[in-house]
Each structure stands twice: as structure tokens, then as C-alpha cells.
Amino acid sequence: MVNDPMSLSHKFLPDCLEIRVVLFTIHQGHLQVLLVSNQENGWQLPGGKILANLSLEKTAADCVRKITGERQTYLEQLYTYGDVSNDKETRLISIIYFALIPDATIPQTIDGFEHKWFPVSTFPVIEPAQAEVIPYALRRLRYKIEYSAVGFELLPAVFTLTDLQHTYEIILGESLDKRNFRRRILEAGVIEPTSARKQGEGRPAQLFRYRPDAVAEVKARRLFP
């Protein structure tokens, strides 16, 4: 179903256009962003050329799929950069997407390039336009988590309320009240209990799943403080 980007039969659009993806996950208790090492140019956002026969969104989705395997991901367009280069003769237009995936191990190298997670607070020096877009993506994520259901995209299919609360706390960078959090998330009706429980230290926790039939944009303006 997905076209192979390497197939000879596909035309590329001019070199002045590319897709980049700001890919977030929660890993080791921190929100992290994926960067790719391209020897001569240092670290960069993952991305690639735009194929003439593939929509922008599909191109970005393929880019993420290549990194994560066949996993479904949350994806939205973030911004299009098109700064004029110094020589005033060439320019590169980058259409930047924003993606979220649950914590997962990813291959260390893909197509010979090193891939690595970096905490959003401390990522290495990268191209200025790309460095600028990461905090913007984070702002959008923080903003969005309050009035929509994107938080679930960072969790596995089933999760405990405590897991979910931790996710929110990591993204928002503040701690939340357990009782208020639970009341609101349950009242919003976006998750439902499964029959399973999670065993571990202490009392076993009810496992929940996201209700895919729930409206994408939660009615409440602000789901969490």
C-alpha cells in the first residue's frame, strides 16, 4: 500500500523542498525528540524529499513509519519554513510535521544513519530553523494536551491512570492533583476501563484504554490545569 520511496518510477519534486518531522516520545521519564546524525551536517530532524506522487502527510507518515516500524502514529502539520539562504540564489523549503509515539525502542541506525532520542530540554546544536521549531512543537503539544486527547498517543494501548497522569506531568512540567486529574479525565469520557489490572508493587491498578470513538477534540476548553 505504501509506495517504496526508492522505486525508480517515482518522480521527485525539485530539491528545494523537504519534509521534516519533530518526533516526540516519553522515554526514561522525559519528553524526548528524535534526531538523526548525518555525518557532515551533524544532528538533524528526521525527514526527506517529497515524492511527487505522495501527499505531504503520507510522506511524513512514511518517514515516521520507517523509524518506528508499522506502528500507527499521531501526526499533524506544524509549520513551513522557507528562509532565504545567504547567497540569495538558493533556498530550502521545509514542511515540518509533528508526531507522537509511545515509548519504544527504535533501531539505532536506519539506512546507515544514527538515530537518537534527546530530552527536549537539552538537545544538541542543529540547524537554526530546526532548533527553533522544537520549542514551538513543545508549546503546541502543551497547549493541545489541555483541550484534546493527544496525551494518549504517548502511551501504550492500555495504561493505568497513574501512567496517564505521569505523562501529563512530564509534558506540562508540573505536578497535578491525583483526585482532580482522575475526576476530570473520567468525566471527559475519553477512556474506559478494561477488564485487566496491572500487577506490581502495592495494590494492582485498573488498566484503561483510550476510546477511539471519543470525539477527537474534547469539548472542555481546558481539560487540565
Partner DNA sequence: GCAAAAGTGTTACAGTTACACCCATGG
Partner DNA sequence: CCATGGGTGTAACTGTAACACTTTTGC
Q: Which residue has the cell 532548533?
A: 131
Q: Which does 214 bind (CB under 5 to 8 A by kind): its own copies, DNA, none?
A: none
Distance CA 87, CA 12 (A): 24
Q: Are 52 and 12 in contact (CB under 8 A)?
A: yes
d(CA 38, CA 114) in angstroms, rounded, equals: 8
With respect to its own copies, which residue has the nearer C-beta, 83 or 177?
83
Please report whether residue 219 would count as binding its own copies according to CB under 8 A: no
For residue 115, what are the CA distances in angstroms to 49, 72, 120, 210? Answer: 18, 19, 15, 29
| Contact flag: residue 215 with its own copies (CB under 8 A) | no
CA–CA dist 156, 61 (Å, integer): 19
The binder of its own copies chosen from 4, 70, 89, 201 (CB under 8 A)? 89
Of 44 and 160, nearer to DNA (C-beta) is 160
Is residue 194 a contact partner of residue 140, using CB atoms and an 8 Å limit? no
Q: What's the closest the beta carbon of residue 157 comes to DNA, in angstroms?
A: 17
For its own copies, the binding residue among 31, 95, 161, 164 (CB under 8 A) is: 95
Q: Least distance in Å: CB of 76 to DNA?
A: 25
Region from 77-85, 122-130, 189-197, 200-208 binding its own copies, contact rule CB under 8 A: 77-85
Instruction: Answer for the pair 122, 45: CB distance below 8 angstroms, yes or no.
Output: no
Least Å from the CB of residue 98 to its own copies: 13
Residues 130, 225: Cα–Cα separation, whole Å: 30
Site string for its own copies, 45-74 (x = CB under 8 A): -----x-xxxxx------------------
Binding site for DNA (CB under 7 A): 160-162, 177-180, 182-183, 199-206, 220, 222, 225
Q: What share of the chain is helix, strand, coil (3-state, %, to 5)?
A: 30, 30, 40
Residues contributing to the site for its own copies (CB under 8 A): 11, 13-14, 16-17, 50, 52-56, 77, 79-84, 88-91, 93, 95, 221-222
